[in-house]
Each structure stands twice: as structure tokens, then as C-alpha cells.
A and B are shown apart, each in its own frame.
Chain A
């Protein structure tokens, strides 16, 4: 029995006849939240966002209202708002849908947020590869300006704010908020150390800055429309609102699906929503929140205690899709990118693929990451090339352990977590790889098998 989606952010986007121009958006109730917002006091908007409990949709899941509360309003320096549209966590493709199909929802959410934090200027940092998304946003901003939803004296409120769309140029690290800020300042995207460089105090141009994800800013619009307390009724306490899960990999119907937090389990998402696996295949593993999140093994039992004190004992299919449950099983909901792997997947190859990605994307600023991540890539590349050693699994883990926690930004963890979790869950396959190759070599065959993932 397929479970029906309950869309909030993507409510209209795939309806026949829904277009991404401003007239269509207004016909569907667009910009009403902004009209309401500019009649409110800015601190009331911040209070609504706090009440909503909405947590950041970019990866870390930090409460947006709390982030805003940290804003240094006393410095007298201008405040900036940045929308992080550098969507680049492998497995994630939700912001693309919003930008392409409903850009005004983002602009409205941004202007509500900008008014709430009294930003002087707002930016959308969009990844460089979104050529079309960039053009769509530029056009949408001009449409919104023509109707005075942004620019000077917005809707007669006396508040003025503009949006600049700023294109990235292919670097994953720009998704890290302080790297993004460096990039926006015209530098290499080397992240800054926190403390002291929390953007809310010392962000863009060393001014107080709020960086929020595309989906989070869209949530702000809905928080204002329905009120923070009403918004908080969607989902469960601590896991409020909806989430757009992007499912990719070995399922029959990959795609994006929006549900209230906790409304379904991982099993329901894979089998009921995404049509399950291909015929004859068995589930092997799932990366539940973008490639950096720790992998879950299909035959694991997950036991422990939730924040609420409630004990759980779940199989992979029983895990509720929300922030806290995925954290409780040792992974994270991250950016909502669910990557599914069936029993045809070679885990050494899959990790070699991810290691290649992270080695390519390390900014090179911190030694453990700059040296360690390419080293892990070399080890897994050698393993799939026919020269695997039984001790490689331990070597990989040892390198990863020396990166995580020893870098300026969370990229160190992002690169280490796949390695640590693949080794802890699938060590047998890494050891077996070496044994297989040895026995093939003994039999006079080529040690390496043909690869498909690297």
C-alpha cells in the first residue's frame, strides 16, 4: 500500500499548470506571508521561528531560531542573510526542485527571514553548475522587485533589502558556511575556525551573518503563514515540519518525496514509497542522509535509548525518518539524501568512489585532511586495482580516526565517517577483497575484477 506524500514545501510544484513565474505564485497565495511579516515586529518573527522548532535542513540540523538568536545585534555593524544554495552533498537534490520549480517561495522565505533579522542585504550562494537555476532566480528576483517584494521600502514598510545571486564554481567546501563566506568575499573557500568566527557574530565582512539552507528558508514562510506553534504540530516534538527525502541508488522509483518528520520509517520510504528494490535483489546497505552520513547495514539491529528516554530495538526498516532517530542509530538525517545499495554493490568499490570524491573536494587547509583524505583514496583505489592487503581495513580506519576531530571544519568528519562506518560494518568484505585477489592471482588470473563504481 503506497503511503501518500504530505507536501508543504513542494505542495504545488508538480501540479499540472504550476509554473515558476510570479503570477502563478501569487495566484497560489504567494507573498501573503511577507505581507504579514512586514506588519509584525522583527522580534516577533524570530519568536515564531523559535516556537516552530524548525531545524536546519542543510545537514547539521541545528535549530534555526537558535541560530538567529545568536545574532550579534549590538555591534552596530550591518547584518547579512545568506541562503546556502550550494547543494552538493552527494545524494541530495531537494533544493534544486525548489529553485527550479518554485523560486518565489524561496525569495518570499528569504525576505521574511531578512526582515526578521533586519538584514541589510541578502545573498543566494548558488552552486555554479546550476546554470538554469541561476537564470530562474535572477528573473524571479526582478519580478519580485517590480512588485516591491524586495528592494527599497518593501510594501511601504520602510524596510529595504536586496538579494544578490552569487554563483559558486564547483567546490563542495562552499557548502560549509564559513567556507561559503570566504568564497563570497572573493577568496578560496577555506573554512574559518569556530570560535571565534561564528557567522552570527563574525560572518561576511566580519559582520553578523545568518546562513540558512534553501529548504529552511522556505520553512520560514510557512512558519509565518501558520504560526510557529501550529508549524510545530507537524512532525514530532524536536523534529518539526516536513522533510524532502531524496532517494537515489538501487530503488525502483528514485526521486524526491516530502513527508512530515517521523511520518514514516526508512522501510516504508524504500518499499512503499520508492517501490522497493529491483526484482531479485536484496537490500544491503543505506546511507541515510547524504554521502557523509554513516552507512547502515541492512541486517543490523539498532538498540539504544532515545533522547526522550524511550528504549528502541529496530531493524533498518523500522527506523523513523527524523533527526533524532537517525542520530540515535549512529548516523544522521543530514541533508535528506538517502542512497540505497542492494546486494550487487561491492562495498570496497563504493567506498573507493566516496574517497575519490572527498579527496577531490578537500580544500587543503588542514594537514590531516589534505594528506589523509587523498591517502584513503589511494588505499581504496589500490584495493580495487588488484593490490588489496588484508590489513588495509585497519589502515583505513587508522587514517580516518586521525582526521576526524582534527580539522578546522566538519569536512574532516564528513570524509572520515564513510570510511569509519564502512569498515566497522563491512570489514569482512575489505579483508575478503585481499583474499580473493590473492587466490585469483595464485590461479594465474588477473587479481583485479572489473569495477563498476570507480
Chain B
């Protein structure tokens, strides 16, 4: 059984009837359930499908298409470094290399202690303040290697 928080259920129940066609709620529900659970398990995808009167494949095909949807639990902190050209020109690859050292974790992986998932992402639309890093839902801009170390320090000491 999938156990969703009552507030998640309330959000879902308020949202679904707003759409003229129920299937339109599929992506929003993926977001809501992922925010609740941390990721989308097989069970979660089946639950969403049933809630929207769809087949599980209709949800699985979304989860495998949209990069923000995850089928595995991420680390406690999700660190996403933009690598697209404007950020790269501003040194994003060096920023990411510093995060790799700090967390002892290769980009694209979760650290062994489960603290951090470090990922490259594509353009976050804040290229005037590159390099751009997102940690969870928060954005950090102009992140050079030194600032990356500061952020990493705060993550490691749980003070971010």
C-alpha cells in the first residue's frame, strides 16, 4: 500500500477536477507523489494510474521521459549543476569537479553515505548568473569552485 500524507491526498483531490480532461493531471500527480515519497516506485506509478483511470504504462512512459521524475530515491541533498554552454563558459565543469571532490562522489551518482546525489542538468534559465547550481528546490548562482566548497561544507555540517 502506498502511504501518502493527508496533505498530498488533499492537493491531489483539489487538482484533478480542475482539468477538463483527467489525464492532464498525470504529470502534476507525478510531481506531487514524488515530492511526498522522494521518488516514484512501481507502486506509486500504479497508484497514480489508478487514480486517473489510466493504465500503469501511461505513467511509466512519462516517468521514463521527463528527466525530473525519478524511479530511485535520491540522496538527502540533490545537487544539480547546470552544464550547458553559458554555465560551461563560466566554469561549471570546474564547479562540478569541486563538488565531486568534496562529496567523494562522481557526478551522476549518490554518495555512499546517501548524503548527496550529484547530477549534471541542462540549462536552468539563469545564464546571466552562471554557473548555476540547484540544491533541492533552491537555486544558487555564480557558484565558482570556492563557493561550491562553502556549499558542500554547509551540506556536510547540515547547516544549509
Interface residues of A (CB under 8 A from B): 78, 87-93, 95-96, 121, 127-132, 162, 164, 166-172, 183-189, 205, 246-250, 254-256, 287, 291, 337, 339, 341, 345, 350, 353-354, 356-357, 360-361, 363, 451-454
Contact = CB atoms under 8 A, between A and B. Distances in A.
Q: Which of A90, A350, A361, A453 is most buried by chain B, counting CB atoms within 10 A of its CB?
A: A90
A93 B93 contact: no
Interface string B110-147: 00000000000111111111100010011100000000
Contact of B126 (A96, A131, A354, A357): A96
Given A337-B86, A360-B122, 18 more contacts: A90-B122, A92-B125, A93-B127, A131-B138, A170-B67, A170-B69, A171-B65, A171-B67, A186-B62, A205-B20, A248-B89, A256-B128, A337-B127, A339-B85, A339-B89, A357-B85, A363-B65, A454-B88
A378 B31 CA distance: 32
B24 interface: yes
Given A166-B28, A189-B65, A255-B128, A250 B89 contact: yes
Contacts of A453: 85, 88-89, 93
Contact of A186 (B23, B83, B91, B134): B23
B27 interface: yes
A188 B88 CA distance: 29
A90 B89 contact: no
Contacts of A171: 65-67
A93 B19 CA distance: 29
A353 B27 contact: no
B85 A185 contact: no
Contacts of A168: 27, 66
Nearest to A255: B128
A350 B85 contact: yes
Q: Which of A254, A291, A345 is most buried by chain B, counting CB atoms within 10 A of its CB?
A: A254
26 contacts: A91-B86, A93-B125, A93-B128, A128-B68, A129-B68, A131-B137, A162-B18, A166-B24, A167-B27, A186-B24, A186-B62, A187-B61, A249-B89, A249-B90, A250-B89, A254-B128, A255-B128, A256-B128, A291-B85, A339-B127, A357-B123, A360-B122, A451-B93, A452-B93, A453-B89, A454-B93
A209 to B, nearest CB: 12
A16 B57 CA distance: 51
A141 B62 CA distance: 28
A287 B88 CA distance: 15
Interface string B77-91: 000000111101111
Contacts of A164: 18-19
A452 B94 contact: yes
Contact of A247 (B67, B68, B128): B128
A418 B94 CA distance: 24
A91 B66 contact: no
B123 A169 contact: no
A185 B128 contact: no
A169 B67 contact: yes
A11 to B, nearest CB: 19
B1 interface: no
A293 to B, nearest CB: 12
A339 B85 CA distance: 8
A452 to B, nearest CB: 6
Contact of B123 (A89, A341, A350): A89
A188 B84 contact: no
A354 B93 CA distance: 14
Contact of A254 (B21, B61, B130): B130
B137 A170 contact: no
A319 to B, nearest CB: 20
A254 B127 contact: yes
B27 A186 contact: yes
Q: Which of A248, A337, A354 is most buried by chain B, counting CB atoms within 10 A of its CB?
A: A248
B84 A353 contact: yes
B127 A90 contact: yes
A357 to B, nearest CB: 5
A78 B94 CA distance: 51
B23 A185 contact: yes
Interface string B9-24: 0000000001111011
B127 A91 contact: yes
A194 to B, nearest CB: 21
B122 to A, nearest CB: 6
Contacts of A169: 27, 30-31, 62, 66-69
A6 to B, nearest CB: 19
A63 to B, nearest CB: 25
A90 B68 contact: no
B25 interface: yes
**The 4 residue pairs across chains A and B that have the minimum distance between CB atoms:** A169-B66, A248-B127, A186-B26, A186-B23
A221 to B, nearest CB: 22
Nearest to A247: B128
Given A183-B27, A452-B88, A454-B93, A170 B128 contact: no
